[in-house]
Amino acid sequence: MEGSAPVITLVKKGEIGPRPPLSSESEALELTLTMLCSFLSIKDFISFLASSGFKAYAQHEEGWLVLEIGVYQDHTKTLQLYPQAHEMVVADDAMTGAFDDHVWRGEADASMADALQKWMILVTS
């Protein structure tokens, strides 16, 4: 699934809680995330989610943000990402069966990469 064309996308979908105070760096990142961002690999995507800049922007004590993860080649294939203070929550509203109970919880690490890879294979087959 990885190559020279993007494979996965991320965009800010909305705010679901009180907006925390944001630094100028976080506001700049938010502006970028209001446009469709694409990543050449799931590894690059996970690296972005694990970055200090993304954590400072998105991960606060009270969840306030929902982002949409999508398949680059088919923007109708999406997941909802809810960053929390100490974990990422990914919801599969389409109930594809990729995750137990249609929700994945954990850190932006290899287990998240595996879960996203499984989902992408399932929805693009």
- Is residue 50, in this structure, part of any structural domain at all? yes
Confidence (pTM): 0.94
Q: How many CA atoms lie within 13 A of 4 on its CB side?
A: 0
All residues at 6 or more sequence positions from 30 whose CB lies less than 8 Å from its CB, including other chains: 12, 22, 57
Task: Give the total number of structural domains in the chain.
Answer: 1
Percent pLDDT > 90 in the chain is 95
Does a structural domain hold residue 20? Answer: yes
- pLDDT tens digits, residue range 72-95? 999 899 999 999 999 999 999 999
* 1 within domain boundaries: no
Report yes or no on 3 lying in a domain.
no
Give me the domain span that covers residue 107: 8-124
